[in-house]
Structure 1
């Protein structure tokens, strides 16, 4: 996937998260994403950083959906997303 496509996906996931979560919940759930200090508008960030942000957003979205409906996202999928976040973080730190 090209970097500009990653940025578009990143923006889409931000919209999805805002749609799913109430304002107070977003502040609580998104602390991991907020600490990344990367948004879709930061086009100077690397492709790997946007990829990591995408994985973090996917993980948060799956958690929000699971809180609303336990059967919405299987636990093994949420665990796999957590693993992806960890792996992508280590890739960024290796660079």
Structure 2
């Protein structure tokens, strides 16, 4: 993977975090990611630093979501004929 691609994925992961926080009104704790002191705009940092940051941020997001209670969605045959779309 090229460094430019890692920078792009790093930025996307930041957007995923912000989107999740905005939709759920929950803050994802990212102490390990923050301690790396790197962001997608730090283009001068090396490829390994961005890879480590990307993996660390991803791990903290997944860990946060994993520890949340599972939301149960009830489905009935009455709603089967209706079109349903869920964005948020």
TM-score, normalization: structure 1?
0.64
Compute the displacement of 1:5 (Å).
0.3
Cα separation, 1, equivalents of 2:35 and 2:47 = 18
1:39 is aligned to: 39
Q: How do 1:1-95 residues align onto structure 2 when only pairs under 5 Å count?
A: 1-21=1-21, 25-26=27-28, 29-69=29-69
Which whole-Å deviations, capped at 9, do the CAs of 1:14-38 have from their partners, x for residues lacking one?
1101111367723xx1111111110
Where in structure 1 are there 5+ consecutive unaligned residues? 71-95
CA 54–21 in structure 1, closer or farther in 2 if over 3 Å, else same: same
TM-score, normalization: structure 2?
0.68
Decide which structure has greater helix share: 1
Cα separation, 2, equivalents of 1:67 and 1:21 = 15
CA 31–24 in structure 1, closer or farther in 2 if over 3 Å, else same: farther
Which aligned segments of 4 or more residues in structure 1 are displaced greater than 3 angstroms?
none
Which whole-Å deviations, capped at 9, do the CAs of 1:28-81 have from their partners, x for residues lacking one?
x111111111000000000000000011011011012113345xxxxxxxxxxx
Q: Is the radius of gyration larger for structure 1 or structure 2?
A: 2
> Considering only aligned residues, what root-mean-square deviation do their CA atoms show, in Å?
2.1
Cα separation, 1, equivalents of 2:26 and 2:32 = 15
In the alignment of these two chains, the number of paired residues is 69
